[in-house]
Structure 1
Amino acid sequence: MKKPEVFEFFRRLAEANPAPETELEFGNPYQLVVAVALSAQATDVGVNKATRALFARVETPQQMLDLGEDGLKEHIKTIGLYNTKAKNVIAAARLLVDEFGGKVPQNRDALERLPGVGRKTANVVLNCAFGQETFAVDTHIFRVGNRTGLARGKTPLAVELKLEKMVPAPFRQGAHHWLILHGRYICKARTPECWRCPVADLCAYKPKMPAPRSRSSAVRAAG
């Protein structure tokens, strides 16, 4: 995809959704760190259900330590891999208290020191909590980047670096949100809904998926 097409790609997504944001619920940067760490191999909907009661009680790393690992597990036991995630969240809270004064750092290297926090999680926190222009490549963005031709790469890092190079200034802060939402609701993994895609004519994916026939049409055809 050439740069003018990339601009038009994001212009259309921005027109449809001028203020995109993460679907994870959080009240401060620390809660976002926890929510994103819990979201690995889980849905945002499932994480939100588990964290509403948790975040009503826990707003800081010290409060998480006071809750303890067993207390945390009671809140997040509906989330996959909750035992491992609980250990990481408590260990991360300890590090934040001991080395960062209970504050979430605003740089990627420091964030990646936290247990359970990788590059993708760090990028989400930097973007959503601190307004930095980062590109958090999850499975949706990896798929959309490769399928559309927007940012092809064999690894999430390769796609991220391509986005870093290609996404124009007006769209950099919201880009990963638009791509995640596009992948989640339109450019789906098994059957992309090309018939209602606002950027289908800019996309390299072929053949484009046609709209499914309505049930009434199918009945008439069968008759």
Structure 2
Amino acid sequence: MAKQLPYPVMREIFTRFQASEAEPVGELEHTNAYTLVVAVALSAQATDKGVNKATRGLFAVADTPQKMLNLGLEAVTEHIKTIGLYRNKAKNVIKLSQMLVDDYGGEVPNSRAALQRLPGVGRKTANVVLNMWWGHPAQAVDTHIFRVGNRAGICPGKDVDAVERAIEDHVPVDFQQHAHHWLILHGRYICIARKPKCGACIINDLCQFEEKTT
């Protein structure tokens, strides 16, 4: 695990990320807060591409909690059967939809604690929704961010909670809103798990990774 990079280096890193893509966006397709919650919950141990393929048909007929309940468990299961752990995820979609109808008037709450009450919604999912839909500077740490943060020294930590705190503590505040998207995309396409594309990396000279491929 690399040591935490100093503030001036952190600022330069995120200045470069911002210059490369000023408004990064998540790759999960959604039309409202509810479909975002469902999509993110379904993305656990699955690719965004795979989730999008499954949810296009699902969201076309059920883009609200009540419509999802009307669709029913069997139909939801059929729609998402190409996604890993689909049976359990389908049950959670129905359960969270029922809770949204019963406890929140069919609306998605905008607090982390309330979101984490929903079946199948953990802290990472809650943070994605808070960030992408309501613009909160919440940091959703996935495997890509964990890898990039520890390799480069941007946000090192022994677990996802420590990495989340490192982002909040060390990324300059004016970059907090888009920090997790920049890091996810960098990990997904450049700083990949095997044979990272260091030659194409815009922060190569600032990164502490000792096993660079160039």
TM-score of the superposition, structure 2-length normalised?
0.97
Aligned counterpart for 1:81 among listed residues 81, 85, 92:
85
Alignment partner of 1:5 out of 3, 9, 14: 9
- TM-superposed deviation, 1:117: 0.3
Aligned letter for 1:109?
A: A
State the Cα distance separating 1:207 from its structure 2 match: 3.0
Report the CA distance between 1:11 and its aligned residue: 0.7
Uncovered stretches (5+) of structure 2, i.e. residues with no partner: none
The answer to whether structure 1 residue 203 and structure 2 residue 196 are counterparts is: no
The CA deviation string for residues 95-133 of structure 1, in whole angstroms up to 9 with x for no partner, is 110001111010100000000000000000000011100
| Superimposed CA distance per residue, residues 117-153 of structure 1 (whole angstroms, 9 cap, x where no aligned partner) | 0000000000001110010000000001101011111
1:168 CA displacement = 1.0
Q: How many residues align?
A: 210
Amino acid at match of 1:146: N
- Quick one: which of 99, 109, 121 aligns to 2:103? 99
RMSD (CA atoms): 0.7
Q: Which amino acid aligns with 2:197?
A: E
2:182 is equivalent to residue 178 of structure 1: yes
Q: Percent identity over the alignment?
A: 60
Structure 1 residue 191 displacement after superposition:
1.2
Distance 2:90 2:211 in 1: 44
Residue aligning to 2:142: 138
Give 1:181's aligned amino acid: L
Identify the residue that residue 57 of structure 1 maps to in structure 2. 61
- In structure 1, C-alpha distance between the alignment counterparts of 2:133 and 2:144, rounded to whole Å: 21
Which amino acid letter does the alignment assign opposite residue 179 of structure 2? A
Q: Name 2:157's counterpart in structure 1.
A: 153
Unaligned runs of 5+ in 1: 211-223
| Equivalent residue runs for 1:30-49 within 5 Å | 30-49=34-53
Which of structures 1 and 2 has the bigger CA Rg? 1
Deviation string 1:191-221 (CA, Å, 9 cap, x unpaired) is 11111100011111013212xxxxxxxxxxx
Tell whether 2:102 aligns with 1:112. no
Q: Which moved more, 1:162-171 or 1:37-46?
A: 162-171
State the distance in 2 between where 1:195 and 1:54 align: 40
Query: Matched residue of 1:191: which SS?
Result: coil
1:193 aligns with 2:200: no
Hey, which bits of structure 1, 4+ residues long, moved more than 3 A?
none
Q: Offset of 1:58 from its aligned partner?
A: 1.1
Secondary structure, aligned partner of 1:202: coil
Of 16, 21, 25 in structure 2, the residue corresponding to residue 17 of structure 1 is: 21
